[in-house]
Amino acid sequence: MAIIARPCPITRDSLDAYQATFEALPSYLHARVVGPRTPENAIRFLEEVYSACQRTGHAKVLLEMAFTGPSLGVSGVLKVVEARSGDGSKLRKIAYVEASPDGPGKAQFAETAAINRAVNVHLFDSLAQAARWLEEDAGG
């Protein structure tokens, strides 16, 4: 089991910091992020997730996204999905849990937009549900 943490303070008028952690489990990668909700942070996190999947040989990932702040809005969500759906479509399964204390925001819209771009992603209410879906079949 490998855990990689990448803290990175931000330079905006916020005391929050971006931090991503990655845990390689036997059948999937568990990736968690906390920090300010911005399109740039979401894109950065998803880039790091894909790189971690390549390094660990995982084709399934559990995204636990705990960004804080207001929802990105439709244009912000589309910016993220358009930027990362190419690599996301190469993964076998992506389970997405919106763990933000500010609520789910546009999580369902993001899921639909990604599915429409050939990404096998599903939004779940809990980590346990997401993990069960990822482990339904042993491969990958």
- Residue entry with tokens 């050939």: 118
**C-alpha distances out from residue 20 to 34, 48, 52, 89, 115, Å:** 7, 8, 11, 21, 24
53-83 pLDDT, tens digit per residue, is 999 999 999 999 999 988 898 999 999 999 9
Q: Can you give the pLDDT at residue 5?
A: 53
**How many CA atoms are closer than 13 Å to the CA of 111, on its beta-carbon side?**
17
Q: Can you give the pLDDT at residue 137?
A: 73
